[in-house]
Amino acid sequence: MSWLGHGNPDDHGIALRVDDVTKTFKVYDERATSLKQFIAMGGRNKYEEFEALRNVSFEVPVGEAVGIIGHNGSGKSTLLKCMAKILTPNAGSITINKRMAALLELGAGFHPELSGRDNVFLNAAILGMSRPDIARRFDDIVAFSELERFIDTPVKTYSSGMYVRLAFAVAINVDPDLLLIDEILAVGDVTFQQKCMEKFVQFRNEGRTLVLVTHDTSSVRNFCDRAIWIDHGEVKADGSPADVIDEYTETMLEAQAAADGSMRRGDGPLRVTKVDVLVSDTRMDRVRTGDDVTFRVHFETPEPVANPVFSLSIASLTGIPVTAPSSRDARAVPVSVDGKGHVDIAVRDLSLIPGSYTIHTEVSGWSRQHLYDHLQHARTFDVLAGDSSEIDGLVTLRPTWTWSGDGVSSEIYDRALPPSPDDDGIT
């Protein structure tokens, strides 16, 4: 069995191929801690085989950014370690056709007694750089880490943030064609995170290949060309980030609801049965910024309920609330409801910017002291780019930009892409 290969002529255009990979671990029920105990146990330790990966296969074309998602224990980190040659699969093969660097455990090769300077040379050598290459890139590495004042100080005196910055600066300057990344987009402070993201964007623009393992689905949605969902060691879904993340999120929410029942509370009898997102009376999973959208909340009750108050809240998938309209605040409470029905909450010119959102619903009595039904994560939906040019935040205020001043040209630079390296903006 060949588990790692390089330069297969048949793999033209493929940076990474994972072919039918299986990885198992021994999980010991009871392990002897002495020779006497080992003999008493019949000369063997009792264990079970745990299959972390099972027949995993996929290809990553050159220049593609792929996000691998999954719950804790799903096998995604094991897969990344197999691709990074840290673990050896029990079956199957992994073929690497490009120069690879893995950003896994940052600073794993650092020696605490050595200075930052010495550790740069040591760690870069571990990552495959020659000493002349390290010397040539040394100033860039230190500048990226922003640790010029401390580079000759032993790293045991560094704070955790300084340690991570230097380790990342070394790893990112190995200059790989294929970069494997494990949950490192959240390292350091906000400024350093932005610098890391800019570096990844630069890599993408240069046509390099990236594989990102993360719990942060928003990073995968916004940064990756493709998503792969690993579930209990198998590929559950492989496709566009929006489709795969939606399926993953809905499955996780359903599993949570089934496990602890915390997704719904209230003593009835009025209950919300489902929520639809409508554009021009058509049910949609994806809408656009600027659309006229109707949120239709379906309900049912076996007996009349007087003066029910309906509330609907919209939040980002990370839990940040955006808005929470209430029928009582809007003076739109019916005298009573009975049987099945629905209420429409119409929103003109939707101001949400592109992203994924979740809807929570609540029905209570007029005083809001009696909770009939609270349904957490009633549904999720995506917002795609529409009439807004903003990409950060949650909502658009639709600002207008007006320039003035003696030195301001009357023409507006209207390129869709940033200026080329030769276009420095100097006139």
C-beta separation of 351 from 395 below 8 A: yes
User: Is 130's pLDDT higher than 80?
Assistant: yes
Contacts of 3 (CB under 8 A, 6+ apart): 21, 82, 88, 89, 92, 93, 94
pLDDT, greater one: 110 or 144: 144
Please report the pLDDT score of residue 128 as a whole number: 76
Q: Which of 144, 162, 250, 126 is nearest to 198 (CA)?
A: 144
The confidence score (pLDDT) of residue 1 equals 31
The residue ranking higher by pLDDT, 253 or 211, is 211
CA angle 185, 231, 76 (to 5 degrees): 35
**230 φ/ψ angles, rounded to the nearest 5 degrees:** -100, 125
Q: Of the given ranges (7-11, 128-132, 207-211, 300-304), which has the lowest mean pLDDT?
A: 7-11
Domain boundaries, the chain: 4-99+176-249, 264-384
Confidence of residue 253 (pLDDT cuts 50, 70, 90): low
Please tell me the predicted confidence (pLDDT) of residue 372: 92
**Residue 3's pLDDT is what?**
42
Mean pLDDT of 99-103: 76
Q: What is the mean pLDDT of residues 144-168?
A: 87
How would you class 312 by CB atoms within 10 Å of its CB: exposed for 0-12, middle for 13-18, buried for 19 or more?
buried
Output the pLDDT for position 302.
Answer: 93
The token pair that represents 262 in the structure block:
């915390």
What does residue 218 show for φ and ψ, rounded to 5 degrees?
-65, -35
The answer, yes or no, to whether residue 341 has pLDDT greater than 80, is yes
pLDDT in the model for residue 2: 34
Residue 58 has pLDDT above 90, yes or no: yes
How far, rounded to the nearest angstrom, does the alpha carbon of residue 45 sit from its chain's CA centroid?
40
Q: What is the pLDDT of residue 295?
A: 96
List Cβ<8 Å contacts ≥24 apart for 129-135: 129/174
Cα separation, 43 vs 49, in Å, equals: 18
pLDDT of the residue at 185 = 53
* pLDDT tens digits for range 287-318: 999 999 999 999 999 999 999 999 999 998 77
pLDDT reading at 418 higher than 70: no
Assessment of whether the complete model's pTM goes beyond 0.75: no
- Give yes or no for residue 194 having a pLDDT over 80: no
List Cα–Cα distances, 240 to 163, 224, 225, 285, 393, in angstroms: 36, 9, 7, 15, 23
Q: Residue 75, Cα to own-chain centre: how many angstroms?
A: 16
Q: Per-residue pLDDT for 190 more than 90?
A: no
| Fold (topology level) of 4-99+176-249 | Rossmann fold (3.40.50)
For the record, the structure tokens of 243 come out as 């489709």
Region 314-334 average pLDDT? 89
Query: Cα dist. 399→106, 347, 383, 403, 414 in Å?
Result: 41, 19, 19, 13, 17
Residue 191: its pLDDT value, please?
A: 74
Tens of pLDDT, residue by residue over 390-410, are 777 888 888 888 788 888 776
Q: What are phi and psi of 36, to 5 degrees?
A: -60, -45
Q: Which of 107-121, 144-158, 276-290, 398-412 has the lowest mean pLDDT?
A: 398-412
Structural tokens at position 68 = 């691998």
Determine the Cα angle at 123 with ends 106 and 157, to 5°.
70
- The CATH number given to 264-384 is 2.70.50.60
